[in-house]
Amino acid sequence: MTADFAPGSFCDIVRQNNGFLVSPLQWTSRHLELVGCRFEEVATTPSDTKSDQRDNGDGIGRTSHPKAAADAETLAMDIFAIIKRECLIRILVGREKPFARHSKGPSFYFHGGPVHRPRYIVFHSNANGTPPPIPVGYVHYTDVNGDRRRQFEPCPGPNGTLNWIGGAICNKRLAQTSPQDWTEDPYFVCHLLALAQHQDRTLNLTKPTTYTSRLLVTNVLNREYIVFYEAGITTELLDVLRDPTHANTSVEWPTVRRIKLPYKPYDTFAARLTSILVASSPASLNNSFDLDGGDCFARNCRKRAHVPEDNQPATVRHISKRRATRR
């Protein structure tokens, strides 16, 4: 993609590209190219890999429990997703830690309703922070691979026999929708958009606004680093997703910044990860919000009407090209 690439309007993109509107699990690099979204590597400096034991006055920013190194090693080496998740929760959630709790992540919305709910969790900020860190999502890549395969998994043959033809089709579809580089999986954009959409529903900030979305990803095949993603998502883009039928002008899609944070040395991992998650954010977002509809700490912010679907299983709505292009 060239630096001066200017994507057309969302309606034009849908009309000119058959099959563009698919499940987020089937998004490919071609989808990101068409809208002008890309990943950008942010190199870590030597100081990023050193321990930061400074205490900012509220306990956030220091390794606060003696098993932090063991949890970091288990997070890196264990093959089970649930074990990795529990280790990350112990590292990030609790007293004198950056986050107070975790919950299921919100759904991705399109054309006014939820169409897909990724399998991930969200860490909610500790209100005692100064400022409190932005909530961050977490997904283990095994769950992504499993959900992607289940889309195409064939039914068994007669009498429970193997469906060889269906299996071949499944493998072909997986090859078509799986990224060459897992750290640039377009599906992560769905998580980031869903987090920004929830901020937009929860906070009544002055528009136009840019929301910051953050995501952590682990992979059982990678024992060297955890990957941190951050993107600034504008309300103009969220308006396009909310009402694509009137998306007749070009909007800016985010550049997703990516940091690969090494697990080693294990004894400093918790402090290094915390320093990233409590790093300064845009001035309009130096506040906390509650994904479950609790108190809103944002300055000059009014909580909007209750949105029940984020605490309930999402009803998947099929995306229709006709609906997205209707004027």
Write out pLDDT tens, residues 214-234: 999 999 999 999 999 999 999
In this predicted structure, the answer to whether residue 50 has a pLDDT above a threshold of 60 is no
Evaluate the omega torsion of the peptide bond into residue 208 and state whether it is cis, within 30 degrees of 0. Answer: yes
Residues near 80 by beta carbon (within 8 Å), at least 6 away in sequence: none
> Lowest mean pLDDT: which of 28-32, 49-53, 73-77, 159-163?
49-53
For 255, other C-beta atoms within 10 Å of its C-beta total: 14
The C-alpha atoms of residue 191 and residue 104 are separated, in whole angstroms, by: 12
Residues near 46 by beta carbon (within 8 Å), at least 6 away in sequence: none
As a whole-number percent, the residues of the chain with pLDDT over 70 amount to 74
Winning range, highest mean pLDDT, from 49-58, 145-154, 299-308: 145-154
Select the more confidently predicted residue: 244 or 215: 215
Calculated CA dihedral for residues 125, 73, 68, 124, nearest 10 degrees: 10
Q: Which of 267, 269, 286, 289 is nearest to 278 (CA)?
A: 286
The C-alpha atoms of residue 122 and residue 239 are separated, in whole angstroms, by: 23
Across the chain, mean pLDDT equals 81
| Dihedral sign computed on CA atoms, order 247, 249, 250, 251 | negative
pLDDT for the residue numbered 286: 35
Local structure of 201: helix, strand or coil: helix
Between 164-177 and 141-152, two packed helices, what is the crossing angle to 10 degrees?
130
In this predicted structure, the answer to whether residue 283 has a pLDDT above a threshold of 80 is no
- The pTM (predicted TM-score) of the whole model is 0.80
The C-alpha atoms of residue 2 and residue 141 are separated, in whole angstroms, by: 29
Half-sphere exposure of 99 (CA within 13 A, CB side): 25
Measured distance between the N- and C-terminal CA atoms of the chain, rounded to whole angstroms: 30
Local structure of 227: helix, strand or coil: strand
Left (φ > 0), alpha (ψ -120 to 50) or beta: where does 215 sit? beta
Local structure of 237: helix, strand or coil: helix
pLDDT for the residue numbered 95: 86
For the chain, give every domain's residue range.
10-325
pLDDT for the residue numbered 13: 94
Pairing state between β 121-125 and 255-262: unpaired
